[in-house]
Amino acid sequence: MNRSELERVARGMVAKGKGILAADESSGTIRKRFDSIRVESTEELRRSYREMLFTAPGAAGSISAVIFYDETLRQKTKDGVPFPEYLTRLGIIPGIKVDAGAKPLAAHPGETITEGLDGLRERLVEYHGLGARFAKWRAVIDIGDGIPSRYGIEANAEALARYAALCQEQQIVPIVEPEVLMDGGHSIERCEEVTNAVLEAVFDRLYMARIHLEGMVLKPNMVISGKKATNRAAPEQVAEATLRCLRRRVPAAVPGIAFLSGGQSPSEATQHLGLMNRAGPQPWALTFSYGRALQETALKAWGGAPANFGAGQKAFARRAQLNGLAAAGLYEASMESQAA
């Protein structure tokens, strides 16, 4: 393992004022996204949608890295340039989602375990050859009656650690993504309790697996009320609780934390990130690795019509720019209504 190279890539992924575009929707998820705009999910439309995002003028100033799904990593621009090569030329780091999804955890109703370790070493070798310099693995922890169980947390933490060790062995920076879902009606306090337990287990297993912390990126959820909670916590509380939780659980050796958006609206996700970056210096860089919160406005503006390609790019570049400002501590809510 070349540690200094891993560290260089990890630092680049969380460079000041920039963040990561999560464009790694698997076939089922991108179909759902296209369904929402009544567009059929064909391979060419998926390619063209991703090309719209990757080539959006001005977006590269706010995007440090892009997470691909297997299909997209192998696709090209309409001019025939492989996407990873196109992005590398722009100074954007290509990465790849390598997990095989969250599957039901046996004997633990309502809980999942993320699969994909079998054959991972060989797949990482191939992905490195295709240009990927980092990878992503997402563990999913749901909050509900009697869940998550200790076992569910431990099993997912162990899988994340085994994945991360294989990545570093193959000179690929692991994004470690333990996502505590915000789908339920739980309070912010319950989210904090579960996120604390999850991050404690994850860093314990990362330590046991001998992960080089300086050569990884953490992708956590924010500490936030469930979507169906009746009395949802204010943005300032979200920022405060998230920072408290992370400061207790994430070693300062980790170069950066890139949040998932998890179902927050685009402006909510930007506002929360902005508040955290205004709260003073932290041990790690704090940025975004949003999927839905970065793409939602662009997806709607595009609507599957070639004539709307430019409008989709404009919407994406603007959202990326606002998040870049939030990552630099320069975002203000009034910017939402201002022109770029």
Write out the catalytic residue numbers: 219
138 binds ligand 5MM (CB under 6 A): yes
Q: State in angstroms the smallest separation of the CB of 327 from ligand 5MM.
A: 14
Q: Which of 38, 72, 80, 26 is nearest to 53 (CA)?
A: 72
Encoded amino acid at 216, one letter: M
Phi, psi angles (nearest 5°) of residue 142 = -95, 150
Round to whole Å and give the CA distance between 317 and 324.
10
Residue 267, class by beta-carbon neighbours within 10 Å (0-12 exposed, 13-18 middle, 19+ buried)? Answer: middle
Q: Which of 11, 62, 22 is nearest to 330 (CA)?
A: 62
Residues 177-236 that bind ligand 5MM (CB under 6 A): 179
29 binds ligand 5MM (CB under 6 A): yes
Q: Which is nearer to ligand 5MM, 226 or 262 (CB)?
A: 262
Count of residues near ligand 5MM by CB under 6 A: 16
Classify 156 in phi/psi space as left (phi over 0), alpha (psi -120 to 50) or beta.
alpha
Q: Where are the alpha helices (DSSP H) in 81-149?
A: 83-89, 120-129
CB 233 within 8 A of CB 241: yes
Q: Which is nearer to ligand 5MM, 274 or 291 (CB)?
A: 291
Rg over CA atoms, the chain: 19
Q: Which is nearer to ligand 5MM, 243 or 293 (CB)?
A: 293
Q: Which is nearer to ligand 5MM, 78 or 101 (CB)?
A: 101
Task: Determine the interface stretch with ligand 5MM among 74-82, 180-188, 290-298, 319-327 (rule: CB under 6 A).
Answer: 290-298
- Give the distance, in angstroms, between the CA of residue 139 and the centroid of all CA atoms in the same chain: 12
25 binds ligand 5MM (CB under 6 A): yes
Q: State in angstroms the smallest separation of the CB of 29 from ligand 5MM.
A: 3
Residues 41-80 that bind ligand 5MM (CB under 6 A): 67
Secondary structure (DSSP) of 270-303:
HHHHHHHHHS---SSEEEEEESHHHHHHHHHHHT
24 binds ligand 5MM (CB under 6 A): yes
Round to whole Å and give the CA distance between 63 and 65.
6
Q: State in angstroms the smallest separation of the CB of 79 from ligand 5MM.
A: 26
329 binds ligand 5MM (CB under 6 A): no
Residues 76-105 that bind ligand 5MM (CB under 6 A): 101
Interface residue with ligand 5MM among 98, 135, 194, 293 (CB under 6 A) is 293
319 binds ligand 5MM (CB under 6 A): no
**SS3 assignment, position 57:** coil
CB 94 within 8 A of CB 131: yes
Q: Which of 114, 88, 111, 85 is nearest to 101 (CA)?
A: 114
- Give the x-and-dash track for 260-279 against ligand 5MM (CB under 6 A): xxx-----------------
26 binds ligand 5MM (CB under 6 A): yes
Q: State in angstroms the smallest separation of the CB of 22 from ligand 5MM.
A: 3
Q: State in angstroms the smallest separation of the CB of 280 from ligand 5MM.
A: 25
Interface residue with ligand 5MM among 6, 9, 10, 22 (CB under 6 A) is 22
Round to whole Å and give the CA distance between 64 and 211.
23
Q: Which is nearer to ligand 5MM, 42 or 265 (CB)?
A: 265
163 binds ligand 5MM (CB under 6 A): no
Which residues sit at the interface with ligand 5MM, rule CB under 6 A? Answer: 22, 24-26, 29, 67, 101, 138, 179, 260-262, 290-293
